[in-house]
Amino acid sequence: MGGDLWITNSTALVTGRPEDPVKTGVELVIEGGVITYLGSRDRHFQERILHRLDQCEVLDASGCVIYPGLVNTHHHMYQVMTRNHPDVEGLGLFGWLERLFPMWTGVTEELAYYTSLLAMAELVQFGCTTTMDHHYVFPKGQLGCLDRQFEAAERIGIRFHGSRGSMSVGHSRGGLPQDDLVEDPDTVLAESERLIRTYHDPHPFSMRQVVLSPCAPTSVDAALFRETADLARRYGVRMHTHLAETMDEITYSREKFGRSPVEYMDDVGWLGPDVWFAHAVHLDGEDIRRLAEAGVGVAHCASSNMKLHSGICPVHRLYRAGVFVGLGVDGSASNDSSNLLAELRTAYLLQQLAEGPEALTAREMLALAGTGGARLLGREELGVLEVGKAGDCFLLNIDRAEYAGSGRDWAAMPATQGIHRPVDATVVAGKVIYRDGNWYNGFHEKEVIHQFHRLLGTR
């Protein structure tokens, strides 16, 4: 159950809708985790609403702008363990992976738990209220990594879409990962079904869902892609994978499969409204038409694509063609951060550079980080502040030097100017989980950092 919360005295509220972006003089009431009132303190509020708020927690938002909670659509949280690694600087994706795969054989269930706590904490501190994670590294004996991730999400208080990834084609068969990181397909499918049965809650406003996510065509065979799709559709869960990230992948696909990555995905049953791809950097007009026609979504990961010199996702063409686009921070070894607000500004500036006057507006880019991501996850109740939607938001105190002069358009400001320090409060399902540097769900940041470094043997 969600909480009951009354947020009052805000300077402004940003809805997350580009066509109706900012409201002023509004009260925000969340009951049972759902927004039940968003409007002025008028006669209706005084007579019909006010008497219900006796038991509500009251959050004074004086000097603050309220924003809808952000939705992160692509991540690899275990990569916190190889963040800021000097040995991978300057490498493209394939070389970067070949350098890091041996290090990732050290992933354990405990590391999955602590890296997830740290990544989720950083996301929450920068306004993210819903995240997925694409976990595809399961060294021998470490099948419980996703279970520990769900445990971490509950401890933090964030909405979590845990993604059961897989790799079945190792180096000896022409794939990228080491052979000791690939899994038997029967194990993958059995574990996928177990996780769905254990954790997947398909209801609106749920706090946890399961996604099935083979890693990529460079590390997963066609049979496992098809069998995963069959299993996902039998249970009604969504599907996700990497696709068309680099020109090396385009070449790999042409040489190995005789077709483009999008054509190959069509062959294995992976074009549909229950699918979204990460990256989708190298697409031609026919690829975009196929994605739009099939209802496939795309997670844009600007910082990762820049660091690995992969290219620039054609966000403008995808968006105008009707393809749902969301934002993702990607892994903490290719972004080195889990800050979705920073990702929002990077994505906005990159599109301005790449597309010029045709680029999406700042308001539209904010929507990608909210409703765009929510659509990829199949969560229409997230990413926007309206009556009947989820009570997920963050507060930003704008009485600071860096925000002086920014009040002409609070909806555009996160993209154009950027938000460079942690937000002042983050609310999920009507519960304040983070405020003024303090956590409210039994999460102790310094203790977790200490345990993480103990496991790594650092410090």
End-to-end CA distance of the chain: 40
- pLDDT-derived band of residue 384, with 50, 70 and 90 as boundaries? very high
Per-residue DSSP letter, 15:
-
Percent of the chain residues topping a pLDDT of 90: 91
Instruction: Quote the tokens at residue 57.
Output: 């927690």
Per-residue DSSP letter, 221:
-
∠ at Cα 68 (62, 71), nearest 5°? Answer: 145
- pLDDT-derived band of residue 264, with 50, 70 and 90 as boundaries? very high
Higher pLDDT, 422 or 442: 422
The pTM of this model reads 0.97
Q: What are phi and psi of 134, to 5 degrees?
A: -100, 90
Instruction: Quote the tokens at residue 287.
Output: 């690829």
Cα–Cα distance between 373 and 25 in angstroms, integer?
Answer: 28
Q: What is the mean pLDDT of the chain?
A: 96
Instruction: Quote the tokens at residue 9.
Output: 């005295």
CA 128 to chain centre: 8
Count of other CB atoms within 10 angstroms of residue 12: 19
- pLDDT-derived band of residue 1, with 50, 70 and 90 as boundaries? confident
CATH architecture type of domain 70-376 = Alpha-Beta Barrel (3.20)
Confidence (pLDDT) at 175:
82
- Is residue 278's pLDDT more than 80? yes
Nearest to 232 by CA among 149, 148, 279, 164: 164
Cα–Cα distance between 430 and 420 in angstroms, integer?
Answer: 25
Count of other CB atoms within 10 angstroms of residue 404: 9
Cα–Cα distance between 343 and 359 in angstroms, integer?
Answer: 16
Burial class (CB in 10 A: 0-12, 13-18, 19+), 457: exposed
- Does 2.30.40.10 match the CATH number of domain 5-68+382-439? yes
Q: Are 111 and 139 in contact (CB under 8 A)?
A: no
- pLDDT-derived band of residue 407, with 50, 70 and 90 as boundaries? very high
Q: Return residue ranges of the chain for CATH 2.30.40.10.
A: 5-68+382-439
Q: Long-range contacts for 398-403 (Cβ within 8 Å, ≥24 apart)? A: 398/11, 398/63, 398/64, 398/65, 399/63
Nearest to 177 by CA among 215, 133, 134: 215
Q: Return residue ranges of the chain for CATH 3.20.20.140.
A: 70-376
In 341-397, DSSP assigns E strands to 393-397
Per-residue DSSP letter, 62:
B
Cα–Cα distance between 39 and 71 in angstroms, integer?
Answer: 24
Segment 220-245 shows an average pLDDT of 98
Q: What order of strands is seen across the sheet that includes strand 393-397?
A: 22-23, 12-14, 64-68, 393-397, 425-428, 431-435, 438-439
Residue-wise pLDDT tens digits, 166-197: 999 998 888 888 888 999 999 999 999 999 99
Segment 328-350 shows an average pLDDT of 96
Confidence (pLDDT) at 55:
86
**Collapsing DSSP states into helix, strand and coil, what is residue 42?**
coil
Instruction: Give 175-217 as a DSSP string.
Output: -SS-GGG---HHHHHHHHHHHHHHH---STT-SEEEEEEE--T
Nearest to 390 by CA among 133, 41, 70, 10: 70
